[in-house]
Amino acid sequence: MQLNGKVPIRGALTAITATLLGSGVVHADPKGKVESSVLLYSETNRVSAAEGVFSLTRFLKKDRILNARLTLDGLTGSSPNGATPSNNIQTFTRPSGSDSYKVKAGKTPLDDTFRDRRVGLDGSLTLPVNRLTKLILGAHLSAEQDYTSFGTSAGMTRDIFRKNTTLSASIAFSHDLVTPVAGAPTPLSDMAQPTRSNGEESEGGPSESKNIFDVVVGVTQVINRTTLLRVNYSVDHASGYLNDPYKIVSIVQGQSSAQPGEPTRYINESRPRNRTKRAAYAELRHYIGGHTIDLSYRYFNDSWGIRSQTVDFRYHLPLKVGHSIEPHFRWYHQTQANFYQSYLLDGAGLPNSVSADYRLAPFHAITAGLQYLFPFEEGTHLSLGVEYYQQFGDLSPPAAMGPLSQKNLFPELKAVMVRLGFSYDL
């Protein structure tokens, strides 16, 4: 119990005193925060999207936090419809059901009328139960022309071991409606014929729905003064109509027929009506010599047979006062869903489940980007980021039959993202 010869305690004392006085109950500063971010996303020859988020956070009495978020999305361009390329011109019915579009010989069939707008509203309320436990309640509503989603969530966090460990658990439920203009197609049915004769859009066909139930549990652990680790495990179960109503599958002629590999007809995709996704996620933040490293890894698998791994790396490099630059690199790899097939063979009978959606194909992807952050004035920050994203699939799978093995079966995706962020303390 001798203090003499010990390290002086003054620095620690100043720190704990500042901590105590900083958390004043009478005037919490700041009162809130406005954050917004605009993302421009552009794929080479395909989809362009703009997405804007506007978020308002208010710090209320009794340490309650209210957050409201508005998301606006606009999307336009061409998207692969799932059909295989052909030696001939192919004709497809537009999603509206009223018209058709043609695709040149040898080209990956793209639906060039892909266009959508989305408005999303999210709200959350954080309620401290006591000094260690927080309750977070949330709700969301998202509306597109052909899709509506609404849901709620509830979560809890608990600090233990002098706030060195934080446990968290949350659940969410969402009910989504799929309402394409021409109705949600019946799985495995033939692609509809255009109803152009009267020039009117076909009347709303059947709509479908799905329910999604999510659970996330996590542990955040302070390792030491410069290192923080978070581990999360999430399970997500979706049931109902899980198809993309705009994806079709080509049924092609067999090897021994007159035109092997050429489509005879197209059917609507058929995904299983249930899907369970599981993801284990670990994130490490480490501070070293003024720089911050953020490294995360995710292992994912689902009941459709997809397994994926994601590695994400960010480096925060401060420049002069307040300015910083952040290189970012992401690597992603997934295996295919077990019902993924680029095409079906004519006369071979239909499987229960089939999809030619490239997102269920085996591929890997990389993202590389750079973000610059700079203070605008006190309490205001701006950031500008540019990222490049590319997917690499198996263009000509060796198993593809005859002529199709010469064709581009994975619709290669290259995209550039530009993001402008803004945050302002109220």
Partner 1 sequence: MTKRLRFALSVSAIALLFGSLSGCAPIGVQVWERDILAKQEMQLDYQAIDMSLDDHIYFSKEGSSGGRGFGGGGCGCN
Partner 2 sequence: MTSKTETQYRVQQKESYWVVTYSAMAGPCEILLRCKNRSEAEHLASLSFIETRRIEQKLSRYRDDNLVHKINNSRGKPVTVDKEFGDLIDYVENCYQLSDGLFDITSGVLRKAWKFDGEDVKPDQELISSLRKLVGWKHTQWDGATLRLQDGMEIDLGGIGKEYAVDKVADLLFKESGASLMVNFGGDIRAITAEKASLPWVVGIEDPKAANSAIGEIELSNGSIATSGDVRRFCYIDGRRMGHILDPRTGWPIDDAPRSVTVIGNYCLEAGFLATLAMLHGASAETFLTEQNVSYHCIR
**Interaction partner, residue 157 (partner 2, partner 1, none; CB < 5-8 Å by kind):** none
Q: Which is nearer to partner 2, 1 or 321 (CB)?
A: 1
> Which tokens in the block code for residue 392?
């690499």
**In the window 230-289, what residues touch partner 1 (CB under 8 A)?**
230-232, 234-236, 238, 244, 277, 279-283, 285, 287
CB of 205 to partner 1, least distance (A): 16
Residue 27 binds which of partner 1, partner 2, none (CB < 5-8 A, kind-dependent)? partner 2
Q: Which of the stretches 113-121, 127-135, 167-175, 383-391 binds partner 2 when contact is defined by CB under 8 A?
A: 127-135
164 binds partner 1 (CB under 8 A): yes
> 3-state class of 22 per DSSP?
helix
Amino acid in position 13:
L
Cα→Cα distances 414→46, 390, 411, Å: 9, 4, 10
Contact status, residue 361 vs residue 336, Cβ threshold 8 Å: yes
The answer to the question of residue 9 lying near partner 2 (CB under 8 A) is yes
Cβ pair 306, 389 in contact under 8 A: no
Distances in Å between the alpha carbon of 140 and those of 66, 124, 175? 14, 9, 10
Q: Does 332 bind partner 1 (CB under 8 A)?
A: yes
Q: Does 310 bind partner 1 (CB under 8 A)?
A: yes
Q: Is 10 in the site for partner 2 (CB under 8 A)?
A: yes
Measured between alpha carbons, how far is 360 from 341 in angstroms, rounded to an integer? Answer: 9
Which of the listed partners (partner 2, partner 1, none) does 142 bind, with a CB threshold of 5 to 8 Å by partner kind?
A: partner 1
Whole-angstrom distance, CA of residue 230 vs CA of residue 219? 6
Task: Identify which of residues 310 and 353 has a Cβ nearer to partner 1 in the complex.
Answer: 310
Sign of the CA dihedral running 283, 287, 288, 290? positive
* Part of the chain binding partner 1 (CB under 8 A), chosen from 127-135, 296-304, 341-349, 395-403: 296-304
What is the residue-wise DSSP string for 371-413? EEEEEEETTEEEEEEEEEEEEEE-SS-TTS-GGGGGS--S--E
Binds partner 1 (CB under 8 A): choice among 197, 224, 256, 352:
224
The H or E element spanning position 199 is: none
Among partner 1, partner 2, none, what does residue 131 contact (CB within 5–8 Å per kind)? partner 2
Return the amino acid letter for 209.
S
Helix (H, G, I), strand (E, B) or coil at 359: helix
Q: Which stretch binds partner 2 (CB under 8 A): 15-23, 78-86, 199-207, 359-367?
A: 15-23
Task: Determine which residue in the list 81, 157, 268, 391 makes contact with partner 1, applying CB under 8 A.
Answer: 391
User: Segment near partner 2 (CB under 8 A), from 39-47, 160-168, 171-179, 227-235?
Assistant: 160-168
Q: Please say whether the beta carbons of 325 and 371 come within 8 A.
A: yes
For the CB of residue 219, give the shortest distance to partner 2 in the complex, in Å: 17
The binding track of 277-316 with respect to partner 2, each residue x by CB under 8 A or -, is ----------------------------------------
- Cβ contacts of 338 within 8 Å, gap of 6 or more: 304, 305
* DSSP reduced 3-state for 55: strand
* Distance (Å, whole) CA 77 – CA 48: 6
CB nearer to partner 1: pick between 223 and 350: 223
The answer to whether residue 320 forms part of the interface with partner 2 (CB under 8 A) is: no
Q: Does 13 bind partner 1 (CB under 8 A)?
A: yes
With contact defined as beta carbons under 8 Å apart, do 374 and 420 qualify? Answer: no
Side chain identity at residue 330, one-letter code: R
**Residue 361 CB: number of other CB atoms within 10 A?**
23
Binders of partner 2 among residues 22 to 51 (CB under 8 A) are 23-27, 29
Judged by CB under 8 A, which stretch of 24-32, 100-108, 229-237, 261-269 contacts partner 1? 229-237
Nearest-angstrom CA–CA distance, 151 and 214: 11
Would you give the DSSP letter of residue 63? G
Which is nearer to partner 1, 111 or 176 (by Cβ)? 176
CB 356 within 8 A of CB 250: yes
Beta carbon of residue 170, minimum distance to partner 2 (angstroms, whole number) = 20
x-or-dash string of contact with partner 1, 72-111, rule CB under 8 A? -x--------------------------------------
**Interface contacts to partner 2, rule CB under 8 A:** 1-4, 6, 8-10, 12-14, 16-21, 23-27, 29, 62-63, 128, 130-133, 159-160, 162-163
